[in-house]
Amino acid sequence: MTAMNWLAVYPEILLLVMACLVALTDLFVTDPKRTPTYLLTLLTLVGVGGIHLAEFDNGATLYAMNRMVVSDPMGHLLAFFATVAIFVTLVYSRPYAESRDMLKGELFTLSLLSLLGISVMVSAQNFLVVYLGLELMSLSLYALVAMRRDHAASTEAAMKYFVLGALASGFLLYGMSMMYGATGSLDHARVFEAIGKGEVNHQVLVFGLVFVVSGLAFKLGAVPFHMWVPDVYQGAPTAATLLIAGAPKLAAFGLLMRVLVEAMLGLAVDWQQMLIVLSVCSLIVGNIVAIAQTNLKRMLAYSTIAQMGFLLLGVVSGVVNGNTLSAANAYSSSMFYIITYVVTTLGSFGLIMLLAREGFEAEEIADLAGLHRRSPLLAAVMAVFMFSLAGIPPTVGFYAKLAVLQALVTTGSSALLGLAIFAVVVSLIGAFYYLRVVKVMYFDAPTDHSPITGPADARVMLSINGAAVLVFGLLPGGLMAMCAQAIVKALGT
C-alpha cells in the first residue's frame, strides 16, 4: 500500500523537488538572461509532462494518502496539458520579462509551484486537498502578478486579485464546511454515498452547494464573479496574464469534475440550475461588453468570460431528468473545449508579448494595425487564433463549440435545445470583436513601422501553436478520444 501511495503522487514529488532545486540554482546564476535557470525549468516541465502522458497511456487508477488523492487518466491528461501550457508560457515570456526587469528566479519557481497546485487540485479526492492545491496555485499567481513592484497598474491588479481571490476562497471553504456538517465527511466518495442514501438534510446541502459553486465560478471567471478578470488581465504584466489565463482554467475544470460530478452528482439537479444561470449571464455579458473594448488584453478577458459560459453549457448537459446516459459525452466535450481554448489563448497572448518591446506593451487593438504588412506570418497566425476563438472552421474552436452544442442537442431536452440555440446566436454576436482584430491587421494602415524582433524559440513556438490550432481543428478525433477515455475512466471509479 505504501508503494502505491508514493507511485500515485511521484509526478508531484518530482515537481516540488525540482522547484526547490530551480530556486537554489538561480542563487548562483549571474547570466542576466537566466539561461541555466530557464533551461532547467523547461527540462523539468518536459520530464513532468512526459510522466503524466505515460501514466495517462497506462490507464491505471491508484489511490493514495488514505484515498485523499487519486491518480487517474483524467487527472494526468489535465496535468499534462497544464504542464504544456506553463512550458509554452515561459518560452513566450522570457524576452518580455527580460525587458521589464522581471526575469528572475522567482518567475520560474513560482510558475512551477503554481503548476504543483494545479496538479494537486486535479487529483484531489478530499475537500481539504482541493483547498490545499487551490491556495498553492493562487498564492503563486498573486505573487507573479505583483512581480513588477514599481509598476502601479500591476500592483493594483495584484491587490484586486488577492482580495477577491481571498473572498472566493472563503466562499469555497464555507461551502465545504456546510457539506461536512451535512454529510459528516470531507472525502468525495463518502459525500457521494451520503447524498445517494438521502440520509442528510437537503436544505443544508444546497446551502453549502451555493457557496461551493460561487467559489468555483470565481476561479472560472463566470458572471457575476467575473469582476477581477478584465482588471487583472489588463493590469498584470502580460507574462503573468498568460499564467492566469492558461493552465489555471484546466485546474478549474478539474475542480468542477472532482467536486460537483464525483462528489455531488446526486445534487446535479440543483447545481446544474446554478450553472445554467452562470452560463447564460457569462455568454451575454462576455460577448456584449467585449465589443466596446479597445484594449486587446481587456477584450480577451471578456472573451474568456464568454468562453467559460460556453464550457459550462457542456457540463449542464451531463444529467437529464436524473438520467446520466449523456454524462460521458457531455463532460468529454467540455474537457475538449477547455483544452483547445487554452491552446488558442496561449498563442493570442504569446503574440502580444512578441510584439511588445521595452517601453511599449502592444496591448491596444490599434497597435495591431497593418500587422500584415510588417509581418505576414504573425498576422496569419493571429488571424487563426481569432477565428478559433470565434468558432470559425476549420480551426479547433469550431469543432469544440460543435462538440458542446452536440452534447446539448442529443440529450433530447427541449430546455437544453433552447440553450444551444441561444449559445449560437450569442456567439454570432461575439464573432464581431474577433473579426474586428483581423480587419485591423489586414486593412488598417500601420501606425508603427519599427521592425518586429523576437528570439527564434518564441517565433517557432508561436508557429507551432498556430499549427496546433489548425491541426486539432482538421483532425480532432485523437484528442477527443483521449478526453472521452479520461472521463469514462473517472466516472467509472
Q: How far apart are CA 221 and CA 244, in angstroms?
A: 11
Average pLDDT, the chain: 89
Q: Using one digit for the tens of pLDDT, what is the confidence trace for 103-161?
A: 888 999 999 999 999 999 999 999 999 999 999 999 999 999 988 888 888 889 999 99
pTM: 0.94
Q: What is the 3-state secondary structure (H, E, C) of the chain?
A: CHHHHHHHHHHHHHHHHHHHHHHHHHCCCCCCCCHHHHHHHHHHHHHHHHHHHHHHHHCCCEEECCCCEEECHHHHHHHHHHHHHHHHHHHHHHHHHHCCCCCCHHHHHHHHHHHHHHHHHHCECEHHHHHHHHHHHHHHHHHHHCCCCCCHHHHHHHHHHHHHHHHHHHHHHHHHHHHHHHHCCCEHHHHHHHHHHCCCCHHHHHHHHHHHHHHHHHHHCCCCCCCHHHHHHHHCCHHHHHHHHCHHHHHHHHHHHHHHHHHCHHHHHHHHHHHHHHHHHHHHHHHHHHHCCCEHHHHHHHHHHHHHHHHHHHHHCCCECCECCCHHHHHHHHHHHHHHHHHHHHHHHHHHHHHCECCECCCEHHHHCCHHHHCHHHHHHHHHHHHHHHCCCCCHHHHHHHHHHHHHHCCCCHHHHHHHHHHHHHHHHHHHHHHHHHHHHHHCCCCCCCCCCCCHHHHHHHHHHHHHHHHHHHCCHHHHHHHHHHHHHHHHC
Could you report the per-residue pLDDT of 245-301, keeping only the tens digit for each? 989 999 999 999 999 998 888 888 889 999 999 999 999 999 999 999 999 999 999
The answer, yes or no, to whether residue 357 has pLDDT greater than 80, is: no
The pLDDT of residue 2: 39
Please tell me the distance from the alpha carbon of residue 327 to that of residue 488, in angstroms, as a whole number. 9
pLDDT band with cut points at 50, 70 and 90 for residue 359:
low
Q: What is the pLDDT of residues 474-483, one digit of tens each?
A: 999 899 999 9
- Residue 358's pLDDT is 67
The identity of residue 116, as a single letter, is L
Residue 212: its pLDDT value, please?
92
What would the mean pLDDT of 421-425 be, rounded to a whole number?
Answer: 93
Q: Taking 90 as the threshold, does the pLDDT of residue 96 lie above it?
A: no
196, pLDDT greater than 60: yes
Per-residue pLDDT band at 1 (split at 50, 70, 90): very low
Q: Are 176 and 209 in contact (CB under 8 A)?
A: no
> Region 7-22: what's the mean pLDDT?
91
**pLDDT band, very low/low/confident/very high, at 3 (cuts 50, 70, 90):** very low
Lowest mean pLDDT among 145-159, 202-216, 359-373: 359-373
**In the predicted model, is pLDDT for residue 6 greater than 50?**
yes
Predicted confidence at residue 468, as pLDDT, reads: 93
Q: For residue 4, what pLDDT is reported?
A: 54
Considering only 30-34, 36-40, 354-358, 424-428, which range has the smallest mean pLDDT? 354-358
Provide the pLDDT confidence category of residue 19 given band limits of 50, 70 and 90: very high
